[in-house]
């Protein structure tokens, strides 16, 4: 298999995620496979932006990233989203 980003060959993906499909898709979207280096780059990218990526099936790195950026996982099934926690304030759903 190859890394979906840099196309480097790898035995096993270091991480992977799956994007949301659209109503026009005939089949569910393919997972995006990442090598170690691209996972590091990806984490650095989102850390710099300070926001979470929104994937249908989340990558393993997202949990640690969410802790750093102050996001929590909300919702169920296809409505699951990362949500930014506000400091010293509780938001009503
Ligand atoms: Zn790569």
Residue 2 inside a domain? The answer is: no
Ligand 1 centre to CA of 10 (Å) is 9
CA of 6 to the centre of ligand 1 (A): 4
What is the CA(70)–ligand 1 centre distance, in A? 27
Q: Give the model's pLDDT for residue 87.
A: 63
- Please give the structure tokens belonging to residue 32: 């995006």
Q: Helices (DSSP H) in the chain: which residue ranges? A: 36-49, 61-69
Domain carrying residue 68: 15-84
pLDDT (tens place) for every residue of the chain, 93 residues total: 999 999 999 999 999 999 988 888 888 899 999 999 999 999 999 999 999 998 989 999 999 999 999 999 988 876 788 999 876 555 554
Q: Is residue 43 part of a domain?
A: yes
HSE at residue 5, side-chain half, CA atoms within 13 A, is 15
Local structure of 9: helix, strand or coil = strand
The pTM (predicted TM-score) of the whole model is: 0.82
Q: Is residue 58 part of a domain?
A: yes
**How far apart are the CA of 37 and the centre of ligand 1, in A?**
6
Structure tokens at 57: 């099936």
pLDDT at 30: 93
């Amino acid at each position: 298999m190859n890394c979906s980003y840099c196309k480097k060959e790898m035995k096993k993906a270091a991480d992977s995620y799956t994007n949301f499909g659209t109503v026009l898709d005939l089949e569910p979207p393919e997972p995006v496979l990442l090598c170690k280096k691209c996972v590091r780059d990806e984490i650095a990218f989102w850390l710099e932006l300070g926001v979470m990526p929104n994937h249908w099936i989340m990558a393993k790195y997202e949990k640690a990233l969410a802790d750093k950026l102050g996001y929590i996982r909300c919702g169920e099934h296809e409505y699951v989203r990362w949500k930014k926690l506000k400091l010293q304030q509780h938001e009503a759903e």
